[in-house]
Structures are given as structure tokens and as C-alpha cells.
Amino acid sequence: MPTSIPCGLSDDDLLAGVARLAGAERDATASLIAHLAELYRRRLHERAGYSSLFTFCTLALRLSDHEAYDRVKAAKVVQEYPAVLEMLAAGRVSLTTIRLLAPHLTPANHEELFASAAGMRKRQVQELVATRFPQPDVVSSVRRLPTPSGSFLPLPPPLVVPLSPGRYQVTFTATAEARARLELAQDLLRHAVPSGDPALIFARALDVLLEELVKQKYATVRMPRPSPGQACDSRHIPAEVKRAVFVRDRGRCSFLGPEGRACGERAFVEFHHVVPFGAGGPATERNIELRCRAHNSYEAAMFYGPPRRETSLRNDTRGPADASG
């Protein structure tokens, strides 16, 4: 069925359409899971020449490995607990939630577990599993990654996995230089950390790093230096205001949507004038809030209008946009 980008829809119709399509996708996914469960029960994938349901999904249905894995896992779960299908169609649980809970489900606990995980995101479900089914701490270790001769081994992504309440497994790849610095830190801290445990060294290093970052980012200066061609009192936000706002907003974007949902993004947050500077908004704690880069730009566009695209940069003498909104 041919589709096109719905440029002509109003904002309300576009939002309603997206919600309707998301609901239809959930219904279709739940229906597919139900059909796969029955197909698996009848072993039709084997009759069709596929050694596993996963292979059938990737080759016959052309699903990606990730899509196939989640759907196969869910199909096997609903064979035991069919009520999950209704929760999946209603959006109360996701395929990711089903996959994370699957190893821990029993006839005695499945209803309570799914009820507890309803509406949770992946990280929250991981925390739930770690609380209900705690794992022992992993042993601290530093080892060299295997590299096949003559080939390049891609670096695995960083990993943070909850193990038990308040305990996490943190995995990342370090360079040879970083390992050498770790060993030096271990030697220098033998009096305080005799075991040389990398987890304890890492925690101490983070304390020092965060203290230094806070000093650099929100340092108090007697007379802030103005930018070239800019008055010193133009958009400057005092360091004490920045510190107070950062603590108050907990380092997260505090943008609220029409339904009252807070953004909560922590990456690349910026200081935003609630009453814009161009409208006389002061740089006070009451008028400054944290915004992620996207919402800072969005609110600026809502107030000032979308930025103009100059046909020629040669005649553009404006300075760079201010990140404080």
C-alpha cells in the first residue's frame, strides 16, 4: 500500500493519527505473536523446512534478528500465559518487557510480575528484575579482548546492567593507556585500597572528576568577560543562579508538554529563559530553567519564529545564537 508524508494534516489530526497507528501496530503485533505461538505448537515451521521458529521469522517473514528474537520469545511465553496478549495489545507491556521477564516467570508469579511491570520502560523492568531476582556481584577483572589475526574486532558498546538492589555491572572497553593509568592509580592507592579493586578506584576517580567538572562548569567569577561586541550584562547568567537551577531541576530538562509530561532528558542540557531575554526576561533563579538542546531550540522557535535561512552568508553579520534561550 503506497504511503506519503501527511504534510497537510493539522497538528491535532497528526497527533491523533500517530496514536491511532501506534495502537493498530500494537494490535497487529499481538496478533502476529498469537499466530506464531500456534504455528510453533503445530511445528509448521519445521514442516516448511526451517530448523527453528527464529530461522522461519528471519528468512520466511524477513524480520531482523532483533525483531525475530523478541517475537519468538513472546510467542513461547504466551503459550504458557495467554493473558499477556491482551496486555501487549493494550500497550501495558512491550516485547522487551516480556523478554526480560521470561526467564523468571512461573505459574505462581506471572500475574503479579506482569502487573508490577505494566507501563515500565526497559531500565525500570531491569531494576524490577534485579530487585526480585538479585544476582551476585561480578568479579572485578581486566582482560585483553581476543583479536583474530589479521582482522579488526569492533569495540563492544558500554553496558550497565542492574544485578541487585543498588548493585550494577558496568562493562566498557579501555585503551592500553587507560589500563596503564589504572595500574598506576592502584599502586598509588595501595594504602587506602589494598585489594586494588578497579570498582573502588573507578568510584574514587568519579568523585574527583565530578568535583572538578562542577568547579569548571559553574565557577564563580568576579567580573564575567563579555563576548566580542557584546555587553557584559547581556545574557550572562550568574554562576550562583546556574548552580541553584541545576540542583533544583536535578540536571534534567524541565520542559512540560500539554499533558503535563516532563521531558527529563539529562544529556546536553542548557539554561533557558522562561520569559525570553528578548522580552526582558531576567537571569534569575525564578526565570531560568534547564532545557535539553531540542526543547531549548523548540521554545525559541515558538517565541521568535523559525530561524531564517540566509541565501548568502557573505552579508550575514549576526553573531552565533545564544544557547540560553
Residues 6+ apart with CB under 8 A from 35: none
Among 6-20, 26-40, 253-267, name the one with the lowest average pLDDT: 253-267
End-to-end CA distance of the chain: 43
Q: Which neighbouring-strand residues pair with 161?
A: 169
Question: C-alpha distances in angstroms, 214 versus 154, 207, 209, 246, 273?
Answer: 34, 11, 9, 10, 21
Averaged over 249-255, what is the pLDDT?
90
> Could you tell me the sign of the dihedral formed by the alpha carbons of 177, 181, 184, 190, in that order?
negative
Query: Which amino acid appears at position 157 of this protein?
Result: P
**Is residue 114 pLDDT above 90, yes or no?**
yes
Mean pLDDT (whole number) for 73-79: 95
- Scanning 102-175, the segments in alpha helix (DSSP H) are 110-117, 122-132
What pLDDT digit, counting tens, does each position of 168-222 carry?
Answer: 888 888 888 888 889 888 888 888 888 888 988 988 998 888 777 767 777 755 5
267 has pLDDT over 80: yes
User: 290: helix, coil or strand?
Assistant: strand
- 239-308: which CATH topology? DNA Binding (I), subunit A (1.10.30)
- pLDDT tens figures, 38-68: 999 999 999 888 888 999 999 999 999 999 9
**DSSP helix, strand, coil percent of the chain (3-state; round to 5):** 50, 5, 45
Which residues are CB-neighbours of 17 under 8 A, at least 6 positions away?
6, 9
Which of 45-49, 108-112, 152-156 bottoms out in mean pLDDT, i.e. has the lowest?
A: 152-156
- The residue that leads in pLDDT, 177 or 307, is 177
User: Can you tell me the mean pLDDT for 316-321?
Assistant: 36
Domain range list for the chain: 17-120, 174-217, 239-308
Q: How do residues 7-30 score in pLDDT, each as one tens digit?
A: 999 999 999 999 999 999 999 999
